[in-house]
Each structure stands twice: as C-alpha cells, then as structure tokens.
Structure 1
C-alpha cells in the first residue's frame, strides 16, 4: 500500500504475512490492535493524523525489523496491553506529538536493537515503564522529549554492551529505575531537567556521565552514595560529572556536600598526574584539602605553633651581645618563624643554636609550605567560582 491515501484504517485482529505502508497518508488512526504479522510492518515516512495503535499486537520478523517507523509522523504510537515485537522496533527521527507508549510491552531483538529511535521528537512522554521488557539494546541518541522518559520497573537485557544509549538526549525528566538491567546506560552529553535514579544506589546500573547536564537529581541521597555512583563510570575518571554534581548541591544550598564532591574530584584527578604533581597534590590535600578544607591549615598552624613555643620556651635562643632587643616570647617567636610575610621583630634578633636551629628551619619551611598550599587552594576555588 505504498503511498496510499486513506481514512481511518483498521487491520484489527488480522493475521498478515507482512504489511507495507511506506509513505502512506492516513486521515485518522491506523489500527493494528491484536494483529499477528509475520513479516514485519513498514510505515516509514507515513503521515498519520491520528495514532498508530498496536495494543495486543504481535509483530514477528526475528533478526530483522519488526516495525519500521523511520520518519513516521503521528499523534502517537501506542503499544500497550501485551504488545510484542520479535525484531527491531525502528522509529528513526519519528515525530510523535502525543508520545510513545510502550508500558508493559515486550521487545525481543537479542542480537541488536530492540528499540532504535535516534533523533525521535516527542513533545510529551516516552513511557517504557511498569512491566516493559526489552531483550536487546535501546537507542534514544539525540532524541528530543518535552516531558519524561520513563524506564521505571522495566527489564533491560541486551546481549552485550549498554542497555540504554541516551547520549545527546534532551528531556524534561528521565526516570532510570529499572527493575533489572544487565547493561549500563550511556548518558554522555545529555541534557535532563530532573534525573531520577534508584533509592538504593547499589541497584543502579553503571552510568556513563561525561558531559551530562541535569537540573535536579532525585532522590536526595547522602553525598557518599552519589560519589560511589560516579566512581563506577565505565569511562573512569572524568572531571565534568563531579563539577555537575557539585553544582546541583550548591543550587540547593548544600555547600558542604559540594565541597566534598570537588575535593573527591581532585583526589581522583591526582592519580592521573605525573609523580611530582601527585606528590604536591598529597601536600595540598593533607594541609588544606586542596583549598576546600582551609580549616586544616589552622590545625597545622596551631600544632606547629604549640611545638615551637614549647621547644623555644625550654631552649631560649640568645640575642647578640650588647644589642638592644625586645623581650623574648616563645609564642611570638614561633609565629615569626611560621608566618613568612608578617614580621613580629623576634626572628631577626634571637638566633637559635644547636638542635633548636633545625627546629627553627623546620618551622620556616612548614610555614612556607602551608602558605603556598593555602594560596594555591584558594586561588583554585576562586577561579572556579
């Protein structure tokens, strides 16, 4: 029926060896409910003013395309109530104004793609939840969805590789909480309004996250659980997912969690650096937490100050004979050694001797190290802000 112009058309309950309706125009619904089609259905480039109705249908074209809806224009594709496709369900660059509804459907294409819909445009929703089962990969690359894309309680079981490819997907919401998934999900460079994942992070399939942008991440779990999810990325360390997660925490006022994420990012990045950069990274981490834990510098300063004050109180440095000098203060003298910029007038006058000279040099070196690490950390944080 290639190129035919039809009104409301129904093959409901029919058994067919195949159906070719490429480039067909249907003024109304195309009804294939409860059909049995052995050789596949071809509606590529068709224009249906109503919806393609597939409730209860069984399309069988194993190892090939069970439904070719490439560039299909319709209100919707409705494949609920026991719809089954043995073979690929292809909706390449289809335009469905009222959504793709596959709740409870079964797609079986173990050696390829169960649902192939790259570039699909849906102003409303794609619903593959509540009993949806796919044996084979699902591809929504570069799809544009105004509402939600749902895989809630779905079963996703590809023979190999990712269960779900959503890179460059644009959607208002993505519900990625399958009941079973034997492969991961590729979310690279997608743009999602609300990303909803499992309440238990251990049930979440591995996610490729580099370049993913989202406005909100649900549910709100402890930051450690989200960091564990990032660490399971099959691509290994990537800086952008950490920055994105920190941005979301900052947007809801959880600045401490945001700093934890950014600190973890620096620690993972450290493993990718040369040995000398890793060594300096360990110093920055231990002293000021890469600038995200500046209170560590105060702890180090107080500990060194207490050590220096104790040592120099017991072993006072001697001033040059016959030279006017201020009253010696072990605390101020230790501060003078520790703080490389501030001068309290003690270090210039009092000179330690013997073993205490090594203590003085140690305090001077530690002061410069703390100051440099603190300055580097603060500069890094301010530059990112």
Structure 2
C-alpha cells in the first residue's frame, strides 16, 4: 500500500549518526541524548533532519514503530523546518536543549505533552493547536514571533526563564488561548508585545521575576482575559510599556505587589497600566510597588477589596466609575490620605484645569463612592471629612448654584449668588451637614454675645422697658422711666443716682407679678423662634421717634437703634439654625437611602 512521502523510513536512508541513535531510543521509549548543551552549529554527529524527526513524531511506520512515551531528544541540531501543521500526534513530544529552525504546529492535535525546554527556534507557529497535557517552553530562546492564537492546552503553558524576541514585532500572540495556567517566571524576558487578549485561563496567571519590554506601545495586552484563579504580577515583574487588562474578568485576586510599571521611554505620557471596565472579585493588591503608578486607568472597573499603600499611586490616574466594596491599607486609614489619592487623578477630573460650571470635567463619582465605602466600613469620621472636602471642591469648580437651563444667561447670577451664599453658610455653621454639633457652638456663642449686649444695654443705657402699655399708665411706676431718672439727676447733680430710679430693669417699684427682664432668657426667647418664654412679648428696647430726614436719623442713632438691629439679626440667626437642623436631618435621611 502506498504511503505519503516522509511516512516511511526508506525515505530517509541513509541515516545520520544522531538519527540512528534517535531511531533506536524512540522504539524503546528512552531519551536520546546527543549532548547535554544546546548546539549552536550543525555537525555530522548532532544533526537530525526535520523530516526524519517528523516521521518519528507521527509514529514511524509499521516496521519502525515509536514507543507510547513518544519521541524524546536532547542536544540535537534540527536541520530544516519541522512541519507538523494539521497533524495528529498520539504521543508526547520532548525536544530539550535542541536547536530548531521554524516549528509549525498550526491546527495540530497532540495527545500528550509538548516539551521544548532549553531549546531555541526562529519561530513557533501553533495557532489552533490542541494539547491534552502541558506545553513546556521553559528557557526557550525564540527569535521571531511566537503564535498560540486560539490554541487549547489541557495543562499549563510554562515559559519559565524563556527569552522571546519578536524582532520588532510581537513576542507572543496568544489571543483566545484556552489553558489551565500560564507561568512567566524565573527571569523570563519578552522583547515585543505579549498578547493574551480574550484568553481563558482556568487557573492562575503567574508573572514573577519577569520582564516585558515593548517595541511599540504595549508590553503586555490582556484585554478581556478571563482568569478563574489569581493573577500575579508580583515580585520581580517589570514592564517597559503599557500593561493592559481592560475588560478582564478575574475570579480570584489581582496582585501587583512589588511590581514595577514603567513607560516605554522615560518622559513620555503613555499609560503604565490600563485596567478599565475590569471585574476583579477578590483583592486588588497594589502594595510595595517599586515606583508610583503614573497614568494608570481603572475607570469603570469593579473590585472586591482595594489594598494599597502610600507609594502605590502616582499622577494622572483615572478613577471615574471605579468601585470597590472594601478598602484596606498598610497604614491606618486616614481621610486626608484618601483625599490626596483622589487629587492624583487626571487634572481635569479633579477640577484642577481651571474650567468652571458646565464646562468643568470634574468627576464626583470617586468622591461619593469613597465616602460610601468609608461609611459602610464604619469609618464615620473619615467619611465626613471626605464629604466636607467634596462640597468644597464642588464650590471650587463652580458646580454650586448652577441655574436651570431655562433661565436667561444674563439673569443666572440672581440664582447663583444666593445659592453660593447659602452653601457657604451651610458649610460655616454645620460643615455641610457633616458637623451638626457646630450648630450648638454657634447657638451658644450667639446666645452668650447677645445676652452680654442686652445686659450691658439694660444696666448702663436703660434701653429695655415693659411692652405692656398699661404699665406706663400706672402712677406707681413713675420712678421707673429713664426720663424720671434724668430729672432726678438734674435736681441732685452732686449725688449718685440710685440704681432703682430711671431704669425699668432695676426698678423696685415694678410689681413682682409682672415678668421680670432677664437678658439670658430674652436672648434665648429670640433665638428659639418656636418657644415662648414671655420675655420678647413683655419687654422691648426703647427707641426714639424717627426723624423725618435720613441724615438726621443717622446722626441721632442711639443704643435703642442698635439693640433693635441686634434683635432682628438674632431672630434671623435663630430661624437659620432651625432651617439648617431640618436640612441636616433630611440630608442624613437621603444618605442612608
């Protein structure tokens, strides 16, 4: 029966010395060791033709079958391109310390493992490859792009200590790869982009003690990757160029502990890490970074727990839409440090670009979310500090008092100025509702100042008098009005006027059943607009009859005028405090909702 060329041993006779040795060991299932080191040049004693190697990998022929353990070759120089495209290999392949030219496994199906440890090749094309076991490329040296697009590897993909040089292009293209786990470790180096876009990893992605160097823009691209375990970009990880994880779905944690993210060229403004719209169910660990993370983008991403430290964040980060359920740090959690973190965002998003009002690109979501998380964690005081800083930032960027769109542009200041004034008072008196106890201080301070003024005005300037007109008609109280005291003084110029003459406040003639004047109670009666202590009803300041002329009125201002103005001011303050209390209660209700 006729067979295709290359499927019979007769097609390769006479055999080279290394091939004779390989044929013998392939039948016995043993390792064919030509040399313990990878050769750099072909010699008569170390050369194996690629066609003969293919013949054995595919199982040999009826007279020269290959053992179930497969072909195992070490230290050989493979002459020519090893073409296994669209082939079915029923055994494992082990080519260790070998020098290969071009290796093609496109569309191949290997029922076993592939082991190219310590070997070298110019290119490895393995698109649509199916391997039931592990693909070991440890310490592999590749000169040219390696492709594993849409490959399916039942075990792990091992690239520990490998050196991939894309020669100005991609170092590794493994888009839509399906694999158990991937290991870039033990001083792995990739010169050119490593592309894992859309890959599905059922275990872990380990990138430790490895270097990714971009020749164009990106060093490592893993957009839309799915990892059912943990992603480690940790100790010894070093990227020169952007690292992308946008749209990634990671079931475990995403650890960047002690990693080093660097731009391709120092001084450029490119991103170091892009992880937008990613979903990380576990912890995003970003502690111990070698250098602060500049120009990193996390917009729209969701994280279970964010764990960082003081050195994590650089400048120009994108946090709009970034959410996390829990927040932990190496040091005690302080509100000001988290506010500084928010201020490290892109300048336009923090309001530092100088644009105001509707033109501002300030993003409130990172502030609101941080405040919400701090509240949920029980850090109430830190949450309040963030809320106060947020209100101040809204004022700074002109987002307080924005007029509705229907108001003409020329009249919008009529809306804006009162809103700004009320917002300022709200912050001054209550810390924008986050410091409600300030109201007690303002209330007590106002009451104390006004009480002192009322007392001084009543004692020294005889300003206060009963407001009931029946009191003035009673002749028993004739010695109480200030006019009587002035007349008495004129009659006794050398004598000191008694305190109970000419002053309603200290007049002993006033009957005890009439409400006595109390400066403290009077001030409290005015401040508490909804409480009646009978003071404001029964007493009032004495003000002279107004003059017809405005200038004459100003020239004849007396203490009574000043006290009347103070009463009006205290009344407004009292109403203001009451309204602020209502605003605080309603504000707290909304935040809980």
Moved more, 44-53 or 333-342: 333-342
Per the alignment, residue 336 of structure 1 pairs with: 525
Residue 314 of structure 1 aligns to a residue whose secondary structure is helix
Say which of 221, 226, 251 aligns to 1:116: 221
Please report the TM-score for the alignment, with normalisation by the length of structure 2: 0.62
Residue 291 of structure 1 aligns to a residue whose secondary structure is coil
Per the alignment, residue 67 of structure 1 pairs with: 172
8 Å CA contact 1:98–1:125 kept in 2: the answer is yes
| Alpha-carbon distance, 1:285 to partner | 0.8
| Alpha-carbon distance, 1:179 to partner | 1.0
Per the alignment, residue 375 of structure 1 pairs with: 582
| Alpha-carbon distance, 1:110 to partner | 5.2
- 1:278 matches 2:420: yes
Structure 2: distance between partners of 1:33 and 1:85: 13
Say which of 156, 179, 185 aligns to 2:261: 156
- Residues 60-116 of structure 1, C-alpha deviation per residue, up to 9 Å, x if partnerless? 115422111110000011110111111111111101111111101100005311111
| Alpha-carbon distance, 1:24 to partner | 1.1
Structure 1: distance between partners of 2:188 and 2:296: 24
8 Å CA contact 2:164–2:172 kept in 1: the answer is yes
Per the alignment, residue 108 of structure 2 pairs with: 4
Residue 81 of structure 1 aligns to a residue whose secondary structure is coil
- Residues 144-179 of structure 1, C-alpha deviation per residue, up to 9 Å, x if partnerless? 111111111111112433211112222211111321
Moved more, 300-309 or 169-178: 169-178
| Alpha-carbon distance, 1:34 to partner | 1.4
- Runs of 4+ in structure 1 over 4 Å off: none
Gaps of 5+ in 2: 1-104, 351-361, 402-415, 459-463, 472-513, 542-559
Per the alignment, residue 100 of structure 1 pairs with: 205
8 Å CA contact 1:97–1:122 kept in 2: the answer is yes
- 1:310 matches 2:421: no
Higher relative contact order (CA 8 A, sep 6+): 1
Structure showing the higher strand proportion among its residues: 1
8 Å CA contact 1:163–1:181 kept in 2: the answer is no
Per the alignment, residue 87 of structure 1 pairs with: 192
Residue 327 of structure 1 aligns to a residue whose secondary structure is coil
8 Å CA contact 1:76–1:97 kept in 2: the answer is yes
Per the alignment, residue 223 of structure 1 pairs with: 335
- Residues 338-369 of structure 1, C-alpha deviation per residue, up to 9 Å, x if partnerless? 22333333223323232111111111122222
- Residues 233-253 of structure 1, C-alpha deviation per residue, up to 9 Å, x if partnerless? 222153322333233333332
8 Å CA contact 1:283–1:373 kept in 2: the answer is no
Structure 2: distance between partners of 1:49 and 1:242: 45
Per the alignment, residue 160 of structure 2 pairs with: 55
Note the aligned Cα RMSD (angstroms): 1.9
Say which of 253, 276, 284 aligns to 1:167: 276
Per the alignment, residue 379 of structure 2 pairs with: 254
Gaps of 5+ in 1: none
Per the alignment, residue 294 of structure 1 pairs with: 436
Per the alignment, residue 319 of structure 1 pairs with: 466
Distance change in 2, residues 1:182/1:262 (3 Å): closer
| Alpha-carbon distance, 1:288 to partner | 0.7
Structure 2: distance between partners of 1:250 and 1:313: 46
Moved more, 60-69 or 125-134: 60-69
Residue 266 of structure 1 aligns to a residue whose secondary structure is helix
Residue 387 of structure 2 aligns to a residue whose secondary structure is helix
8 Å CA contact 2:286–2:312 kept in 1: the answer is no
- 1:185 matches 2:332: no
Structure 2: distance between partners of 1:323 and 1:307: 32
Residue 371 of structure 2 aligns to a residue whose secondary structure is helix
Structure 1: distance between partners of 2:193 and 2:468: 95
Distance change in 2, residues 1:367/1:63 (3 Å): farther
Residue 303 of structure 2 aligns to a residue whose secondary structure is strand
Please report the TM-score for the alignment, with normalisation by the length of structure 1: 0.93
Per the alignment, residue 556 of structure 2 pairs with: none
- Residues 161-209 of structure 1, C-alpha deviation per residue, up to 9 Å, x if partnerless? 32111122222111113212462322222221221112xx255324422
Structure 1: distance between partners of 2:469 and 2:292: 84
8 Å CA contact 1:79–1:103 kept in 2: the answer is yes
Structure 2: distance between partners of 1:211 and 1:377: 28
| Alpha-carbon distance, 1:15 to partner | 2.0
8 Å CA contact 1:33–1:53 kept in 2: the answer is yes
8 Å CA contact 1:77–1:99 kept in 2: the answer is yes
Residue 299 of structure 2 aligns to a residue whose secondary structure is coil
| Alpha-carbon distance, 1:212 to partner | 2.0
Per the alignment, residue 25 of structure 2 pairs with: none
| Alpha-carbon distance, 1:268 to partner | 1.4
| Alpha-carbon distance, 1:127 to partner | 0.8
Written as runs of structure 1 = structure 2, the 5 A alignment for 1:138-149 is: 138-149=243-254
8 Å CA contact 1:110–1:158 kept in 2: the answer is no
Residue 64 of structure 1 aligns to a residue whose secondary structure is coil
